[in-house]
Every structure is written in C-alpha cells, then in structure tokens.
Structure 1
Amino acid sequence: MATTFTDHTGTPRRAPGRRALQRRLPVIALAWVTAYGALRAHWASGHRPDDMSPVDTDLVAFTGWASVALCGAAAAVLLALAHPGAGRLPRRPLLAAAWTAALCLVASGALLLLDVIGAVLPGLGIAFYPLGALSRAACVAAGIMTGLSALAHARRTRAGCAACGRATTAPGALAHTPAWAYWAAYLAVAGCLTRIIAQAAVGFGESPLSGGASAILFEAGFVLGGSLLPLALVHSFGRTWPRRLPRLGGRRVPRRLVLWPGAAISGGLTVYFGLMLLQMFWERLNGRNPFPAEGGLALPEAFFWVAVPAYLLWGAGMAVAARAYARRTRLPCPSCAR
C-alpha cells in the first residue's frame, strides 16, 4: 500500500515526498534517457566497444541507430510528461506512446537476464560482459522509469482515490486466491517440468553450462524457481510460515520475499524467451535453422521448439500468479477500501 498521512480533516493523503518524487520522475527519466541516447549515438557512429555480448550487439530488437531513435522517441514522450501542461494533452495517446517506449526499451535489454546469471554464478560457463551488462541495465532502467512516469501520469489524470491513487473502477484486494491464479501457477510449474523433460530427452550432458558448485546452485534455483516459488504465490505457505517451522511458524511471510522474486523472474523469462520465440519464427519463416550447431553443441531444433515455449509458459504463468499474490496480500486503502 502507498505511504499515506492524515490531514487536518482526517482524510488519508499520499505522502508529500512520494508525490514530489512522482512529479520529478519524468524529468529524472528524461535526463537518463537523453544521456543514454547520446552514448548510443556515439557508439552507433563507429565507436562501439567490442565484446559487449554473446551476439553481435549489446542490445536486441533495437540496435545501432534504431536504438538511438528509440531513446529519442522515449525522450520526446518523457518531455511531454514532464511539461506542466501534460494534463491537458490527449491522455490515451500519450500513455500509449509512453508504455510502448517503455516496453521497447525493456525488451531491447533482454540479455540482462544472462548478465545476472553470469554475474551471480561466475563458474557456470555463461560469459559475462561488464560494459555490455551496464549498457543493458541502463536500457532496462530507462524503460522502467518511463513506465513508472506513465503510471504516475495516469494516476494524476484519472478519477480516483487521493490516498492510494487507484482508479474508481480499480479492483480491490482479493479476499481469497481465485481459481485462475491457481491455474496460472500450476501452468508455470508445468512449463518448468516440460523444460526439464526436454533436457532429459536429449541428455543432461548436452548442455553449454559448466559443472561444479555454480551448476549445482543454478540447478537448485532452477527447480525451486519453477516449483516452490509459483506455488508459494497461490498457497497459504507463501503468506504464513508453516507452523512446524521453529520460531517462524505461524508468522506472516514478508510480502517482498515472495512477490519480488516472483515478479523479477517472471518478467525476465517472459521478455527474454518471448523475444527468442519471435526470432525463432522469423528464422524458420526465412528457411533458416534458428539454432545452428556451434561451439561443439548440436541440439535438435525440436528441442528448442519445446524448451523455449515452456520457458515462456513458466514466465507468463508466474506473472499472472504474482499479480494475484500482490492483490491478495496488499492492505486495503483506509480511504477507498480498495
């Protein structure tokens, strides 16, 4: 729930510091996107460093001068959002443009998922490119700030609660976990299980990952992230510690402990493997093998047509379950009860 305070009339209001940050966010995001766009223009003019990713460029989807154009478009939208008269501009087209720019920026930094894994588990065999990772992190941060700026503008310009900023038609907190959330969570588990079965079909030795402690940690996290975490988003043990646990039993599970990993992992899987699946379709429509044999690793194409959609199902299912968990565990606003 948003931080609130009570004014002299007893009405809950959004904290002044939070309101001030929301007003300044488009300006902060504009400065960030402009600086990053200038850097990309410098790189696109022939000064891009080498070895920034396992592919030819540090970004995907929008690369080279296209990435400069994307930053320019995002800057134009943020300039409109930062203008004092932004509330008088056409609301829906402005928000649509802002959300589109935000999504394109986040999608362009999709390889950040590999950067995180390679940095956390350096012995796994996933190459880590520090400068490229910083570039992708800056791109994703630009997309997130653009999206948050759009969200803040939407809240300011719609009819809603002054305390929490939710629209008058916004759904309230969930009294119980709905059936669709259970379906989503178990579909996420099915996606993870399908991915494991696909690997078993070609052999667990046919993997580009190295062995050792990093591989053990990765595999443990892989299984827990595809089984325990989705189930924790919908079952009671994700909200209250089981009573059999010493000292913690019966206490409330910190909301962020479940929601933040669920949202982060689902977002990373959905963006990364969603783009990969689109690329696979494009390559196959042009008569090319999306994953030709390289580096001594030759997996059948059918493996990827099973594994990549399984990852996407895992991410999308967990995203839906995380949304339900967020509504299930949030405290109702004391002003509007939503």
Structure 2
Amino acid sequence: MRRAVVVWAAAYGGLRIWFATGHAFEWKLPGDDLLVPNWVAAIGCLVAALAVIRVWPRLLWALAAGWLAAAAFLLLDLVAMVLPGLGIPFDLPGMLSRLGAVAGAVLLGRLARAHQSEAKPWPHWVPVAGASLAVAGCLTRLAAQVVVGFDQMPYDGNLSVLLFEGGFVLAGTLLPFLLVHRIGRYFPRWLLLLPGFTLGAGITAYFTVGLIQMIANAVRGEPVYGDVGLPDSFFWVAVPAYIVWGAGLTVAARGYQFATRKATDSECDLQITQR
C-alpha cells in the first residue's frame, strides 16, 4: 500500500505541476478542477509521499480528508451525470481529475486503516445522534427553501427537479433512519453504506469549503455566495445545515458499519473465553 501511495503521489503530483505550468483544461465549473491551487496540490502530493516513510494514521487520515475536500466539486459531477436536466454543467476532464484526488484519499485512508488498532464499536446513542442531526440538517435546509420559495431554485428541468428533490428528501430522512434502525439490517450492507459514506463525506467536504469561502467573501464585503438571486441569509442557514446533515450521515454510516461488521478472529477468541 505504501508503494501505491508513492506511485499515486508521483503521477498525480506530476499532473498538478503540468496544470500549474499553463497546460490545464478550460474547466466548465467555476474556478479550477480542485478547490486548491495547482501548486498547493503538488505540494500535497509531496507531503503524501513523505508521509509513508513513517506512518502516522492520524496524519494520513488528515491528508485523506484534505484531498476529499479539495475534490468536493465531484458531488456536482455526480448530480450532473445522473440528472443532466438540472442544468449543472458536466465536465468530464474535471471529473476525472477530481477522481484522481479521491483515489489518493482512498489509498491514504486504506494505509491509515492498515496501521491503526481495531476501532471499538460506538455506543448505540452515537449513531442515533448522528442520524438525528442528519434529519435536522435536512429539515432545516428544506425550511430555508420554504422561506425563500421553491420558485427560487436555480435548476432547470421539471422531471430532473422532481427526481433530485425526491432523492434529496430520502437521503435526509429515510437513509439516516435505516442506518440506525433494525429494519436497515435486512438491506444489503453496501446499499446503505455506499450512499451513507459517499453522500455524508461529499456533502460535508463540499459545503465546509463553501462555508469557508462564504466567510472569506463576507470579510471582503462581497456577496457570500455570488449573484444567484437568493439572499445571503438563506446561505447562512442552508450551508451550515448541509454540513450538519453530512456530518451526521457520516457518523450514522460509521455506526452502521460497526453494527454489521463480521467479528474478527480476536473478537471470536474473546467471546469463546468469556463463555
């Protein structure tokens, strides 16, 4: 796994240097393909390569989270690919570049996991609290939309909007419920873990970066989220609500992972000894 991280860091770092020297594509989404400058990304690749010399799981997890946050626009790529009628521009080169960053995050996370001790299951109330926060975040976001009106949604396409809103509500209500309720145990494990972790991490990373940008814009006296026809107050409510939603969903998914994982050999030995 260390070798895989070094190979990725060398290849992706070379790509970031190539982009930094004036060879980047014309990205369709605002800004660059990542939410950090190319030279910062290149330095991040160097740090990732050096981090495998002496493995500190916490540092590797921090680097993995950083790369995931930098590729936060991938969430828009997925929405644009599944629901093209929303009017969100789909940028294949940008998506592939962001997937490269996510690949590095996965490798770093796997290396960190391989070098850390087995995590103990959480008390049941922790994932329940996470699921409750996810639902609260989703409902807060919906309440903010109700206040400004649904006619202010910056999307096109009636059917796509209906599908998007349907998935939106399910991911904020039904999915958290299934992650912490016994009914969820009857579903295939991947069917809940994949959207739980993907949506949770993606929403948290994307909107955390967005909140940082909002704060920076506010300090400079600029509109907090650009000129999209919505009041700043809407974003000060909606964006933190998204972060709470995503973080809660991630915690609930982690709790579900603990609750449904197969017992390790050491755990089996301990159960036999206790008998």
TM exceeds 0.5?
Answer: yes
Match of 1:40 in 2: 16
Query: 1:107 Cα shift?
Result: 1.3
Q: Which residue of 2 aligns with 1:64?
A: 38
User: Shift in Å at residue 68 of structure 1?
Assistant: 1.2
- 1:261 maps to 195
After TM superposition, give the deviation of residue 332 of structure 1 in Å: 2.0
- Tell me, yes or no, if the aligned pair for 1:74 and 1:102 is still in contact at 8 Å: no
Deviation at 1:57, TM superposition (A): 0.9
Moved more, 94-103 or 69-78: 94-103
CA deviation map 1:17-63 (0-9, x unaligned)? xxxxxxxx22122212211111111110111111x242121110x21
**Where does structure 1 lack aligned partners over 5 or more consecutive residues?**
1-24, 81-88, 156-165, 241-252
Sequence identity (%)? 42
Q: Which amino acid aligns with 2:31?
A: D
Q: Which residue of 1 aligns with 2:243?
A: 312
Does residue 214 of structure 2 align to residue 280 of structure 1? yes
Aligned position for 1:219: 165
CA contact (8 A) 2:5 2:48 kept: no
Per-residue deviation at 1:67? 1.3
- Structure 2 Cα separation of the partners of residues 43 and 115 of structure 1: 20
Using the size of structure 1 for normalisation, the TM-score is 0.75
CA distance in 1, matches of 2:170, 2:192: 12
Query: Aligned pair count?
Result: 269
Q: Which amino acid aligns with 2:254?
A: R
Task: Report deviation, 1:285.
Answer: 2.3
TM-score, structure 2 as length reference: 0.91
Unaligned 5+ segments in structure 2 are 271-275
State how far apart, in whole Å, the 2-side matches of 1:56 and 1:258 are.
33
Separation of aligned partners in 2, 1:103 and 1:312:
15
Matches within 5 A, 1:168-187: 170-172=119-121, 178-187=124-133
Equivalence for 2:273? none
Shift of 1:305: 0.4
Larger displacement relative to structure 2 (97-106 or 38-47): 97-106
Partner of 2:230: 299
Specify the SS of the correspondent of 2:263: coil
1:230-256 CA-to-partner distances (Å, cap 9, x unmatched) read 01011121113xxxxxxxxxxxx2111
Residue identity matched to 2:34: L
User: 1:154 is matched with which residue?
Assistant: 116
Larger radius of gyration: 1
Q: What SS is found at the alignment partner of 2:88?
A: coil
Change in CA separation of 1:171 and 1:276 when aligned onto 2, cut-off 3 Å: same
Deviation at 1:101, TM superposition (A): 2.4
Matched AA of 1:133: M
Partner Cα distance (1:98, 1:180) in 2: 24
Q: How does 1:1-338 map to 2 (within 5 A)?
A: 25-50=1-26, 52-60=27-35, 62-78=36-52, 80=53, 89=54, 94-154=56-116, 166=118, 170-172=119-121, 178-240=124-186, 253-293=187-227, 297-337=228-268
Cα deviation code 1:161-183 (max 9, x no counterpart): xxxxx2xxx424x7xx7233222
* Residue identity opposite 1:98 in structure 2: L
Distance 1:225 1:98 in 2: 29
Change (3 A) 1:254 1:126: same
- Give the drift of 1:268: 0.7
Partner secondary structure for residue 150 of structure 2: coil
Aligned partners of 2:22, 2:212: CA distance in 1, in Å? Answer: 29
Separation in 1 of the partners of 2:105 and 2:8?
10
Once the two structures are superposed, what CA deviation does each residue of 1:208-251 show, in whole Å capped at 9, x if it has no partner?
111232222111111111110001011121113xxxxxxxxxxx
Q: Over aligned residues, Cα RMSD in angstroms?
A: 1.8
4+ runs of 1 displaced by more than 6 Å?
Answer: none
